[in-house]
Amino acid sequence: MANMCPYGRFTHAVVRGIPETFGKTAGEGRENGEVTVDQAKAQRQFGCLTGALRQKVGLQLIEIPPDPELPESWRVEDVAVIQGDTALITRPFKQQRRSEADAVRRVMSELNLTVVEMGDEQGDSGGATLEGSDVLFTGREFFVGISSHTNRRGAEVLADTFRDFAVSTVPVCGGARLKNFCSMGGPDTIIISNGDGAKKTLRMMEQLTDHHYDVLTVPEESAANCIYVRGPSKRDFLLHRPAEECPDSVSAFQKLPDYTLLPTACSEASKLGASLSSLCLLVNRKHTYF
């Protein structure tokens, strides 16, 4: 498959800065409205993350300036699903987040990615919602978590966009988003927490897949979300939560052979229901056709 290569080969990372409205509930039903967050700390953590991606991992970083009007715009993962040279601009569950896509769309175009829109409210995709943090792409297939933010219609649009791949839907039991408790830890490795809900989701994924994945189980849910990149230097990098945030899970990452572990704090974003991977979009502009 033209688009099929082992997971983790990225060349670019797209992030968006932390606005001063970070943590401010923008609209009705804000899930984290009562949480107090340290915006300055969040910005420091964000800086650590981007620094690691750029300097340690070696990715080209594209940083979209923050927009105070969009308090959640830093969660760029939600607004696009990128595979190969195609970027699907998603339709987040919250109406007020949908304008976040504009800036991302521009960046995608600048990267020469084929931009696919989910479409308006009308039409076939009417009512479809999809957020990137509910999409786990393994390099071989997609798992779409059906959650409070992503529905089946949204998954169908994704399946229609990435036709080369199997797109399986799995229930999200453990958290608000699929990737809150799982992520890719390598080309064939899934990191997942050992919570009951996560186990249930994992069983479903195992049932649905034609492939075999190694599973790395971590005791803390938030630790299961990592960023794996096989950088230009052909080394394996894993950004994970530091021991201060997930003391019990760090040892599990030691098992990964020849990995460069990059502890990256994410406590403030995590308070808002986000994860490490929520903060960036990873792109591979060097995929070949052979």
Which residues, other chains included, contact 257 with Cβ-Cβ below 8 Å and sequence gap of 6+? none
Instruction: Enumerate residues 102-131 that contact other proteins by CB under 8 A.
Output: 114
Whether 176 and 147 have beta carbons less than 8 Å apart is answered as yes
Among 90, 138, 168, 183, interactor with other proteins by CB under 8 A: 168
Which of these segments, 16-24, 29-37, 173-181, 203-211, binds other proteins (CB under 8 A)? 203-211
The separation between CA 55 and the C-alpha centre of its own chain, rounded to angstroms, equals 20
Residue whose structure tokens are 């630790």? 223
Among 31, 110, 121, 164, interactor with other proteins by CB under 8 A: 164
Which residues, other chains included, contact 206 with Cβ-Cβ below 8 Å and sequence gap of 6+? 213
88 forms part of the interface with other proteins (CB under 8 A): no
Whether 150 and 134 have beta carbons less than 8 Å apart is answered as yes
Among 25, 39, 60, 86, interactor with other proteins by CB under 8 A: 86
7 forms part of the interface with other proteins (CB under 8 A): no
As beta bridge partners, residue 229 has 237
* Minimum distance from residue 110 beta carbon to other proteins (Å): 19
Helix (H, G, I), strand (E, B) or coil at 230: strand
- Which residue's CB is nearer to other proteins, number 64 or number 158? 158
210 forms part of the interface with other proteins (CB under 8 A): yes
Cα-Cα-Cα-Cα dihedral sign, residues 143, 224, 86, 259: negative
- Which residue's CB is nearer to other proteins, number 41 or number 152? 152
156 forms part of the interface with other proteins (CB under 8 A): yes
- Which residue's CB is nearer to other proteins, number 144 or number 281? 144
* Minimum distance from residue 289 beta carbon to other proteins (Å): 5
Among 209, 217, 260, 267, interactor with other proteins by CB under 8 A: 209
Whether 174 and 196 have beta carbons less than 8 Å apart is answered as yes
Pick the closest to residue 83 from 149, 129, 143 (CA basis). Answer: 143
What type of residue sits at position 240? H
Using CB under 8 A as the criterion, which residues of the chain lie in contact with other proteins when the complex forms? 1-4, 84-86, 114, 141, 144, 152, 155-156, 159-169, 203, 207-210, 289-290
